[in-house]
Amino acid sequence: MAKSEADFSYHLWRYDGQPGELIPLLQSAQEHFGYIPRRAIKYISETTKIPESTIYGVITFYSQFRLQPMGRHLVRLCCGTACHVAGAPLLLQTIQDELGIEEGGTTADGVFTLSKVACLGCCSLSPAMMIDGDTHGKLTPASVRKILRRIRRETLKQAGGEPAA
Ligand code: FES
């Protein structure tokens, strides 16, 4: 659940200059905005007097932080042992090529965000991925491309003003 703007400001107001406080501030910003926008970094820097370059360094060091908003659909590719053995590395490459993003990235059209996970808990379906709440198993590069293209097509069609079903 997104926190209110007041909550975010409250964290900043309480900042008393301890170095360890930067992480909770960044977490608060991400919780509020869904990612850490440029304006939040500027605001935190001005309030805490921590240089923006230092804040960027911390953000890029910790994989929990995002500098881009999430896409409409979260693709979680399983890279656990069973899926790895069954071909997850090739699927990862396929998804990255198809979407033009690296792990953790969001497509330029905002449709997909890609992440890797350790195990989705459905190893008998390996290699597997989850898109939002839907599990897709026994994947091949061709089936992955097909799924991603279908979802992108449907998403863009809806965004183009298609009446909601
Ligand atoms: S290792 Fe992929 S679902 Fe378990």
SS3 per residue for the chain: CCCCHHHHHHHHHCCCCCHHHHHHHHHHHHHHHCCCCHHHHHHHHHHHCCCHHHHHHHHHHCCCCCCCCCCCEEEEEECCHHHHHCCHHHHHHHHHHHHCCCCCCECCCCCEEEEEECCCCCHHHCCCEEECCEEECCCCHHHHHHHHHHHHHHHHHHHCCCCCC
pLDDT for position 165:
41
Quick one: what percent of the chain has pLDDT higher than 90?
58
Say whether both 86 and 146 belong to one domain: yes
Residue 154 and residue 116 in one domain: yes
What is the position in ligand 1's atom list of the atom closest to the CA of 78? Answer: 2
Q: Which domain holds residue 112?
A: 73-159
Nearest ligand 1 atom to the CA of 88 is 2
- The per-residue pLDDT for 25 is 87
Q: Read off the CATH number of the domain in which 113 is found.
A: 3.40.30.10
Residue-level pLDDT at 119: 94
* Phi, psi angles (nearest 5°) of residue 78: -80, 130
pLDDT in tens, 113-146: 999 999 999 999 999 999 999 999 999 999 999 9
Query: 């969001």: which residue's tokens?
Result: 106
Q: What is the pLDDT of residue 4?
A: 56
Ligand 1 center to 73 CA (angstroms): 20
Confidence of residue 51 (pLDDT cuts 50, 70, 90): very high
Is residue 24 predicted with pLDDT exceeding 80?
Answer: yes
Q: Which atom of ligand 1 is nearest to the CA of 127?
A: 2
In the predicted structure, residue 109 carries a pLDDT above the cut 50? yes
Residues 86 and 122 in one domain: yes
Final residue in a domain of this structure, among 41, 61, 81: 61
Task: Say if 68 falls within a structural domain.
Answer: no
Encoded tokens for 93: 């490459």
Q: Is residue 43 domain-shared with residue 77, that is, in the same domain? A: no
Identify which of 83, 85, 91 to mutate to test ligand 1's pocket (most ligand atoms within 8 A of the CB): 83
Residue 80: which of 114, 115, 127, 113 has the closest Cα? Answer: 127
Is 164 contained in some domain? no
Residue 164 has pLDDT above 50, yes or no: no
Q: Would you place residue 33 in the very low, low, confident or very high pLDDT band (cuts 50, 70, 90)?
A: confident
Token pair for 150: 């279908």
Do residue 55 and residue 133 come from a single domain? no
Residues with CB under 6 A from ligand 1: 78, 80-83, 119-123, 126, 128
Quote the ligand 1 centre to 119 CA distance (angstroms): 4
